[in-house]
Amino acid sequence: MLAHSIHGRSLGSTRIAFVHGFTQTRQSWDSLLGHLPDTYQFVTIDAPGHGESPSAAIDLDQAVNQVVTTAGSAVYCGYSMGARICLHAALAHPESVIGLVLISGTAGIDDHTERDLRRNADQQLAQHILDIGVNAFVDEWLAQPMFSTLPRDDEDRALRRTNTTSGLANSLITAGTGSQQPLWNRLGELRMPVLIIAGADDLKFAELAERLHRSIPTSQLELIQNAGHVVHYEQPLVVASLLQRWLSSRGFK
């Protein structure tokens, strides 16, 4: 069982499980949840190696099993790393994933050479985290161009710094994009309703979102204007409203 928090109603409502991105924690969803009605039950989870969840090295399949054991039957909503975890969960445990929301997600790197390069880069970055420590790494991580549209938020930065070097390093090595087997050829297996969200200014992941949409017959695609990679931070009201409408339209009460 992973560290988690439960918000909203406890009985008689749809459960929505939230899985955050790399370097974040379960509290990273608080700004979005503040704009959603408490008619649902929200379960926010510290992904393996993050927050208060164990930092032991486990592979992506083990991480997925732990997330599903923690959340149970729910609509699974993941951002970036969390989107990859939730997508794997939907394919491995379709009986538990009754709906799927992918924010800035991908189904992996399907070019073998590119995946090997990414795996090597992830291993080097993991060692770099161990060398410089969490505080310095978080500053470097958020200085990347993909986060250039993310507003400066000292509280968010402080939350990210509560992670451990070993947890983040293990997460990169065992569950990073480089170690993930691509899932593009399995997306047609998905039968649950799927909502795909990306920031229109995040060109790489907007393109990946369109590819996901083309590959998942049950999906709805939404590209959010004036938003980059962390779209639910940059446009929380827009994303919350979109999520609420989608849940209602798919019969999730």
Q: Which two tokens stand for residue 37?
A: 């009605």
Could you give the percent of the chain with pLDDT greater than 90? 90
Given this model, what pLDDT does residue 57 score?
A: 77
pLDDT of residue 168 exceeding 80:
yes
How do residues 77-135 score in pLDDT, each as one tens digit?
A: 999 999 999 999 999 999 999 999 999 999 999 999 999 999 999 999 999 999 999 99
Average confidence (pLDDT) over 217-228: 98
Given this model, what pLDDT does residue 10 score?
A: 64
Nearest to 29 by CA among 242, 243, 233: 233
Which residues share a beta bridge with 16? Answer: 42, 75
Given this model, what pLDDT does residue 12 score?
A: 66
One-letter amino acid for residue 87 of the chain:
L
Contact status, residue 198 vs residue 169, Cβ threshold 8 Å: no
Nearest to 49 by CA among 71, 37, 67, 36: 67
How do residues 31-89 score in pLDDT, each as one tens digit?
A: 999 999 888 999 999 999 999 998 877 888 999 999 999 999 999 999 999 999 999 99
Given this model, what pLDDT does residue 56 score?
A: 77
Which residues share a beta bridge with 221? Answer: 196
How do residues 183-208 score in pLDDT, each as one tens digit?
A: 999 999 999 999 999 999 999 999 99
